[in-house]
Amino acid sequence: MSNWVLVVNCGSSSVKFALVDPESGNESFHGIAERLGQGSQAGEITYQYGDEKERHSLPDGKHEQALADIVEKLHSLGWLEQVVAVGHRVVHGGEYFSDSVRIDENVRDKIADCIRLAPLHNPAHVIGIDAAKAAFPDLPQVAVFDTAFHQYMPEHAYLYALPYEMYREHGIRRYGFHGTSFRYVAVRTQTLLDNANAKLVIAHLGNGGSVAAVDGEHSLDTTMGLTPLEGLVHGTRSGDIDPAIPYLLTEQFAMDAKAVNDMLWKESGLLGLSELSNDCRTLEQAMDEGNEAAKRALDVYIYRLAKHIAGQMVALGGTDALVFTGGIGENSSYVRAEVVKLLAFMGFALDSAKNEATNRGAEANIASAQSRPVWVVPTNEELMIARDTVRLMEQG
């Protein structure tokens, strides 16, 4: 092995990690540390490499202990010396960052400043950066931002219709997310189309989902906003709602702000509509067995998704291809088929056999012969982070 990048994604209670070859995309080693930062409760870390899978507890249950454990595991496997850098996924970079950057104290401080914009995500990123620096003191650290890809949106796309001082003084605007995934999928699709300037509408669909309008190298609009709550129906998040609803809930139902926030983030979306699950696979199976609540949730999800896809075409003046990616986008032939049916008036139609056959990492144009292109392109955010990390190392 040589020139491996350790890709780290720190959440508030977890650390996902993978050792990535930036050329081939191979992941020789990956895993997750869970239940971190839970007070006296022990955490747990799981490693997968080759045919091996190991799991053990982390008595302190802290991010720092998880990173130190990863270092020790890499050392015991004889792989530590092949790690050349650490690449961090960072959710929110505000208006500070329109590209990935090497981390120094100034960058770390700006990521910390963005905690005001992403209080659920950025605190863990700062903890992870500090812990990785302690664990790998001699290695370059790089931050790759979910928001950076969307920093080229025009003003008319990113401003909210609030008093302008809310943007000017406090940075309240639409930022967008899933940028690393959109960037990877855009480049790959443009290669498949042999058109580096292809206009693409990309739907990244997972437990959280968003759609972006991509013109060449950047997005011109996207469905997520200040936070990842806006836009599509998500697994547990509400997506777009009437902004008066939180006030109504506090005034008429005596819910406090935290309860309302928890409902919108954790109890809504597919889970809230179905009262069954946030997992699309579970809902599709239940629907096939006659569960009307599961069908209701999927109907709302699909209708709202089709509306947002059509809306994103306004930013581009049309599109050269519609692209599905993410766990649902790559694997749910049902969601793809139903969405494209709603977009038939725009010239889209699927080849049923191709659609059904495309899953589990397959890449294909699933459109019928008469249709505009509809691609399924698996995403690879870890590879994009690894490649950005090496690119910045080479720039010095």
Q: Where do the domains of the chain lie?
A: 4-145, 195-381
Phi, psi dihedrals of residue 248, rounded to the nearest 5°: -60, -40
d(CA 386, CA 18): 10
DSSP state of 81: G
4-145 belongs to which CATH class?
Answer: alpha beta
Its pTM surpasses 0.85: yes
**Calpha distance 4→110 (Å, rounded):** 27
Catalytic residue among 99, 130, 146, 194: 146
Q: What single DSSP character describes residue 243?
A: T
Any long-range contacts for 128-131 (C-beta under 8 Å, 24+ apart)? 128/8, 128/10, 128/15, 128/63, 128/67, 128/88, 129/10, 129/88, 129/103, 130/64, 131/10, 131/63, 131/64, 131/66, 131/67, 131/68
The CATH superfamily label for domain 195-381 reads ATPase, nucleotide binding domain (3.30.420.40)
| Residues 284-295: b if buried by 16+ CB within 10 A, e if exposed | bebbeeebeebb
Q: Which DSSP string do the residues of 346-388 spell out, in sequence order?
A: GT--B-HHHHHH--TT--EE-B-TTSPPEEE----HHHHHHHH
Beta carbons of 143 and 107 less than 8 angstroms apart = yes
CA-closest candidate to residue 99, choices 142, 141, 140, 149 = 149
At a CB cut-off of 8 Å and minimum separation 6, what does 180 contact?
A: 89, 144, 145, 146, 149, 381, 384, 385
Q: How many helices (H) and strands (E) does the chain have?
A: 15, 14
DSSP states of 20-70: E-TTT--EEEEEEEESTT-TTS-EEEEEEETTEEEEEEETT--HHHHHHHH
What's the pLDDT tens digit per position in 303-346? 999 999 999 999 999 999 999 999 999 999 999 999 999 999 99
Closest listed residue to residue 277, CA positions, set 288, 293, 264: 293
What is the chain's alpha carbon radius of gyration, rounded to the nearest angstrom? 21
Looking up tokens 């015991």 gives 76
Asked if 37 and 48 count as a contact pair (C-beta separation under 8 A), the reply is no
Burial of 324: CB neighbours in 10 Å, binned 0-12, 13-18, 19+: buried
Q: What is the pLDDT along the chain (396 residues), one digit of tens a residue?
A: 468 999 999 988 899 999 999 999 999 999 999 998 877 788 999 999 999 999 999 998 888 899 999 999 999 999 999 999 999 999 999 999 999 999 999 999 999 999 999 988 899 999 999 999 999 999 999 999 999 999 999 999 999 999 999 999 999 999 999 999 999 999 999 999 999 999 999 999 999 999 999 998 899 999 999 999 999 999 999 999 999 999 999 999 999 999 999 999 999 999 999 999 999 999 999 999 999 999 999 999 999 999 999 999 999 999 999 999 999 999 999 999 999 999 999 999 999 999 999 999 999 999 999 999 999 999 999 999 999 999 999 987
CA distances from 228 to 24, 137, 148, 199 (A): 31, 32, 14, 24
User: What is the β-pairing status of strands 101-102 and 141-145?
Assistant: antiparallel
Is 146 a residue of the active site? yes
- The enclosing H or E element of 288 equals helix 280-288
Shared fold status for 4-145 and 195-381: yes
3-state secondary structure 145-158: ECCHHHCCCCHHHH
**Is beta strand 52-58 parallel, antiparallel or unpaired with respect to 43-49?**
antiparallel
